[in-house]
Structure 1
Amino acid sequence: MSIVQNANEVDGAATEEFLASSEGLRTVLTVLDQLGPDGWHTLPVAKVLLELAQKRFAPVAQAWHRPPEDATYAAFLAMRGRSARTARDPWGVVTRAVELAMQAETYGERLLISPERARRPVHRPAEAPMRAGEHEEFLYDIVATEGSVAGRSDDGVERLIATCAAFLVVAGWPHARARRVVEYVSMRAADMGSRESALDALRRDNVTRLHLGLSHSAWNTLVGLLIGAKPRVGSTATLGVFARVLLGDQLGDLLRDTDLLDQAQLTCPGGSHD
């Protein structure tokens, strides 16, 4: 408990390590709940917790084109709720709350409705209103062919792009490049109509690979990571990040898969891949 009460007197890295654990977050949130609203102003560890949340959720905000402060505020609201204190995975609850908040704000702006209404797909208008001079075709308007990795739904494609881009950013990709490469691979995969065709076509796409500054091995790893691996003799096919997200995985689920995160880090532009 001393690390909760005396955060300014202990090593900052030790404090962040404590807060990054499920039990550490639960302990701090329980103390803050007992102290009431003033606890967030008077308890030194509360400031450290908010700073950690800003660093942790900045990629999520960037993936949805929101300022990092929006994600921090969404995390703050989630951490004040009972579910974050009582859940088996408190950080998972907060992560999901931040993702939903960023989605709602983005859809709210796009559809000219409130974020509260945008949280529920059933309350969203069937078509986005056309603004003067606006002719952009959003990815969620693309109808994927049957068997494609990018299935259509109200949230499907935009959630897919944002979650996968945020995952790559956490792994070390620059945000703008991560967003572009996820959009590009998802659209090419939808055009191909099957995973095998998409893998073959994208792995031969040297123009895009060179534009991104990736080696052959890094590009092949990235394509396989996103789309999935072909089945080989004696083994089954491996689900790609696209399929995992479309099947319900959240950003937190992807980040808890250390093998997947290690693989993503090997694809970062400028790294040693050859």
Structure 2
Amino acid sequence: MLQRWSLKWLLLLALIGILSACARQDEPLPTLIDLQGTIDAQSTSDAILLATSQAEPTSTPTRLAPTLPPTFTPTVPPTPSPTDPASAPTATPPGYHADGTIYYIYNGDSIAALAGDGSSDELILRGGPFSDLTASPDGQLLTYVAPGTLGGQEVWAASRDGTYTQQISCLTYPLVRFPVWSPDGRSVAFLAAAGVGAPYDLYIADFAGATTCPEGNNQRMLAQLNAPNVYGLTWSPDGTRLFFSTGPIGVYDIAADFLNINLTVPSGFGPDTNPVHHPTEPRLFYLHA
């Protein structure tokens, strides 16, 4: 009799276990973590800042490929009157007239010119590699870094159609970065290092006399930065100072021969980079991590 009751209890317990396993699970799943919201709440996006401003957290927008409408026509501003100094910022040379053309480095070994309305897109220079492309203040010359005639990397200038080229620097260094024209269009400042791992220093060379560099165009070192990395270079609108980034933002005063490499203190998440001076006001913008 005892064995019969034990068998019944075992069967009952087994039946209860089967029914429990087949029952619907109503317990809620663990809550999903909103990673984007968490990142937005705890981090600050890279933003253009003033030296005394604080970046606001921003979300990352969806990046779309740029397209031009079929009927797009760029609006060209009227040429300011030379007798009206208030008609344009002081950084804009007299007579400069933008035509909307965009110049860019294509495939690393060519420079191309794209019409503002998209009607034409042509290669004007080939045979790079090219890097650090920019334009002179009057828009008549392009400046870039390319292999020099005697080796190394050098600063070059070219006409907008690529029919004229001229090497400006003659250091024969393997690392040359960020050539920038002085506001008067007479000189080009740049950063250069004698080798990989060697420190970058600040140089300048005149455009006139470049065919007999370095004596003819007064190529010279302005300041020893002693920095293994550089992240940008720009002039003040009056041409008296050069701002650069070696991690913090720094400044070199040409007339006073004064160097300050720590205008800013990076946050620790990355360097302060790409300084750009306001064209008419004593303010400096840069990217802050």
Greater radius of gyration (CA): 2
TM-score range, shorter chain: under 0.3
Structure possessing the higher relative contact order (Cα contacts under 8 Å, 6 or more residues apart): 1
TM-score between the two structures when normalised by the length of structure 1: 0.25
Whose strand proportion is higher, 1 or 2? 2
TM-score between the two structures when normalised by the length of structure 2: 0.24
Whose helix proportion is higher, 1 or 2? 1
